[in-house]
C-alpha cells in the first residue's frame, strides 16, 4: 500500500485530497495546524486506511525538517507528497503585517521546498514517487493587493515545472496544480470576503482534486482545474502585455474599503 503525505490536511482542499487518496487505498500521513480537525479527519478515515496525524505549523522555522524526522521515527516512507499547505494575505502591500508576510513565505515557499528536498532523496533511491505542489491561478500573472501571495505561487509553479523535467528520467512524477477560486477557508483567512466580486464563482475542492489526480495519468507539468475562466485567465497572462494586464486587474482586486 502506497503512503501519501498531505500538508495543510485540515483545510478544505487538504481534506479533499485525503478523502480521494483514501478512496485509492493510500495510507495517509496528515499534517496541519488545527489539532481538533486533524483528529476528526484521522478518526473518519482510519476505518478505511491506515492514518497517522502529525500536528505541525509549517510557518515555524525548520518545521519541514521536524515533520520529516517524525515520519522517519515512525518507520514510514512517503510515496506521494502533496504540498498543499499555504495561505494568502489580501490588501495593500505597504499596509500588511511584516511578520504575517514572512510566515506566508515560510509556508508557501520555504517549507514546500525543504519538504520536497527531504522526501525526494528517498524517491530518487527508489526511482519512483509522486509530488503534487499546489500553486494557484494567481501564479499566472502579478496580482495587486495579493502581491506576495501571487509571487509565492509563481515560485511554486516555476519550481515544480523545473523539477518535473529534472526527475522525469528517474521515474518520479511532479505536478503543479493551479486552482482558481475554490470553496475553502482561504478567502476568510486572507480577509478577502469583503470583495465579493473575487469570490463569486468557486470550484469545489472535490472537483479540483479529481482533475488533479486525473492529470497525473498524463505527462503535463501543470494542471489548471475547474471552470474554463481559470484557463482563460492563465492564457491572458501569457498573451497580453503584462504591464497592461496588471493595470486592468488593479481596480478589480482593490479592497472595497480602499
Residues forming the active site: 149
Q: Which three cell numbers stand for residue 106?
A: 515560510
Rg (CA), the chain: 18
Name the helix (H) or strand (E) containing 4: strand 3-6
Contact 176, 161 (CB under 8 A): yes
Name the helix (H) or strand (E) containing 130: strand 129-134
CA dist 179 and 14 (Å) reads: 13
Place of cell 478512496: 23
Q: Which residues contact 112 (CB under 8 A, 6 or more apart)?
A: 7, 83, 85, 86, 133, 156, 159
Contact 24, 16 (CB under 8 A): no
Task: Assign 3-state DSSP to the chain and report helix, strand, coil percentages, each to 5.
Answer: 55, 15, 35
- Cα-Cα-Cα-Cα dihedral sign, residues 235, 240, 245, 246: positive
Contact 242, 141 (CB under 8 A): yes
Nearest 5 degrees, angle CA 60-CA 8-CA 166? 85
Distance (Å) of CA 29 to CA 39, 54, 163, 226? 12, 7, 23, 26
Amino acid at each position: 500500500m502506497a503512503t501519501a503525505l498531505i500538508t495543510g490536511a485540515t483545510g478544505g482542499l487538504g481534506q479533499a485530497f485525503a478523502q480521494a487518496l483514501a478512496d485509492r487505498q493510500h495510507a495517509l500521513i496528515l499534517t496541519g495546524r488545527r489539532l481538533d480537525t486533524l483528529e476528526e479527519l484521522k478518526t473518519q478515515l482510519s476505518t478505511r486506511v491506515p492514518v497517522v496525524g502529525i500536528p505541525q505549523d509549517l510557518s515555524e522555522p525548520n518545521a519541514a525538517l521536524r515533520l520529516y524526522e517524525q515520519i522517519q521515527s515512525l518507520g514510514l516512507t512517503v510515496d506521494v507528497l502533496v504540498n498543499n499547505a499555504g495561505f494568502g494575505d489580501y490588501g495593500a502591500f505597504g499596509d500588511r503585517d511584516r511578520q504575517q508576510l514572512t510566515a506566508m513565505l515560510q509556508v508557501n515557499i520555504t517549507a514546500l521546498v525543504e519538504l520536497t528536498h527531504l522526501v525526494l532523496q528517498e524517491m530518487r533511491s527508489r526511482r519512483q514517487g509522486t509530488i503534487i505542489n499546489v500553486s494557484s491561478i494567481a501564479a499566472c500573472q502579478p496580482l495587486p493587493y495579493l502581491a506576495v501571495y501571487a509571487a509565492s505561487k509563481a515560485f511554486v509553479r516555476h519550481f515544480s515545472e523545473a523539477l518535473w523535467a529534472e526527475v522525469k528520467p528517474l521515474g518520479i512524477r511532479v505536478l503543479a496544480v493551479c486552482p482558481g477560486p475554490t470553496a475553502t477557508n482561504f478567502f476568510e483567512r486572507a480577509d478577502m470576503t469583503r470583495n465579493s466580486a473575487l469570490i463569486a464563482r468557486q470550484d469545489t475542492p472535490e472537483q479540483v482534486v479529481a482533475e488533479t489526480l486525473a492529470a497525473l495519468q498524463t505527462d503535463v507539468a501543470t494542471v489548471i482545474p475547474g471552470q474554463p475562466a481559470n484557463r482563460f485567465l492563465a492564457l491572458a497572462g501569457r498573451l497580453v502585455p503584462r504591464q497592461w494586464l496588471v493595470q486592468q486587474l488593479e481596480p478589480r482586486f482593490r479592497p472595497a474599503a480602499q
